[in-house]
């Protein structure tokens, strides 16, 4: 598991902007909340996988805890899958041609084409029939024309996202940043996301804490979900 370290000055800056309370998203409407699990696929999870993120295997228990809590409280779980789609209309030539060597492109294409072994979700995830599985062809799940996530969430009235997955500093951060700017409230789970190194992980947590999200641990997220479930049940 990552050693989590957010600089004190970032925490203090966040307090000045958002108030001194530990969390500013401790009151959420569970019927309008989705837990978005980013790219926990074989291609990122397996030992020796094309884009192996070893720490990602260590967060699965936390991700599953949040899945269960959200599901029982009436929220939605959405599993995103990074996808290479040769037939998409909005092609990503810059990334695959200019940012990647030919052998890297060939590896990504083989690994993350729909139906490939490495494309599939990690089998230890708690995926149930009522959960959504959504493919995306960019790091962010919120880019129009590359993923249906925003449309699916909007149709369900979702306004709050709990984000877990991998890589913390790539697809998870990209999705969180874009979603926040599209009027979603973001809870970013400190011990429910995984990067290659602690330094990369903590850099994203600092960005989230300073600007984009309410950063919580798994225990804190589960407590927020449970507390709001009880409050909303008693008010019904």
Sheet of strand 185-194: strand arrangement: 132-136, 76-82, 33-38, 160-166, 185-194, 214-216
Indicate the pTM of the whole model. Answer: 0.96
Say which CATH superfamily domain 8-20+30-235 falls into. Answer: Isochorismatase-like (3.40.50.850)
The DSSP letter of residue 55 is H
Indicate the helix (H) or strand (E) that contains 82.
Answer: strand 76-82
- What six digits make up the tokens of 81? 């899958």
> Residue-wise over 160-188: b if at least 16 C-beta within 10 A, else e?
bbbbbbbbbbbbbbbbbbbbbeeebbbbb
pLDDT band, very low/low/confident/very high, at 236 (cuts 50, 70, 90): low
- What six digits make up the tokens of 128? 């149930």
pLDDT at 82 over 80: yes
pLDDT at 234 over 80: no
**pLDDT, the chain, mean:** 95
CA distance 191 to 199: 14
CA distance 168 to 165: 7
Query: Please, what sign has the CA dihedral across residues 192, 197, 201, 206?
Result: positive
User: Model confidence over 3-43: pLDDT tens digits?
Assistant: 999 999 999 999 998 888 889 999 999 999 999 999 999 99
Domain ranges (residues) in the chain: 8-20+30-235
User: Model confidence over 135-164: pLDDT tens digits?
Assistant: 999 999 999 999 999 999 999 999 999 999
> Residue-wise over 119-149: b if at least 16 C-beta within 10 A, else e?
bebbeebbbeeebbebbbbbbbbbbeebbeb
Q: Would you tell me how many other CB atoms lie within 10 Å of the CB of residue 90?
A: 11
pLDDT at 232 over 90: no
- First-last CA distance in the chain: 39
């Amino acid at each position: 598991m990552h050693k989590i370290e957010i600089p004190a000055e970032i925490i203090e800056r966040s307090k000045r902007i958002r108030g001194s309370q530990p969390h500013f998203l401790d009151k959420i409407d569970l019927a309008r909340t989705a837990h978005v699990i980013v790219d926990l696929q074989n291609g990122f999870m397996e030992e020796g996988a094309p884009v192996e993120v070893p720490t990602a295997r260590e967060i699965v228990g936390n991700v599953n805890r949040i899945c269960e809590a959200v599901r029982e409280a009436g929220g939605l779980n959405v599993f995103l899958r990074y996808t290479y789609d040769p037939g998409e209309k909005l092609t990503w030539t810059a990334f695959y041609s200019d940012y990647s060597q030919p052998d890297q492109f060939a590896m990504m294409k083989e690994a993350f084409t729909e139906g490939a072994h490495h494309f599939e979700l990690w089998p230890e995830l708690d995926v149930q029939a009522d959960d959504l599985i959504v493919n995306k062809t960019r790091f962010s799940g919120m880019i129009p024309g590359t993923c249906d996530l925003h449309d699916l969430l909007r149709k369900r009235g979702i306004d709050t996202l709990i984000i877990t997955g991998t890589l913390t500093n790539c697809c998870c951060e990209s999705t969180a940043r874009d979603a926040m700017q599209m009027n979603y409230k973001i809870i970013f789970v400190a011990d429910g996301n995984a990067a290659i190194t602690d330094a990369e992980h903590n850099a994203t947590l600092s960005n989230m804490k300073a600007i984009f999200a309410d950063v919580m641990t798994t225990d804190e997220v589960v407590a927020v979900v449970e507390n709001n479930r009880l409050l909303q049940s008693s008010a019904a």
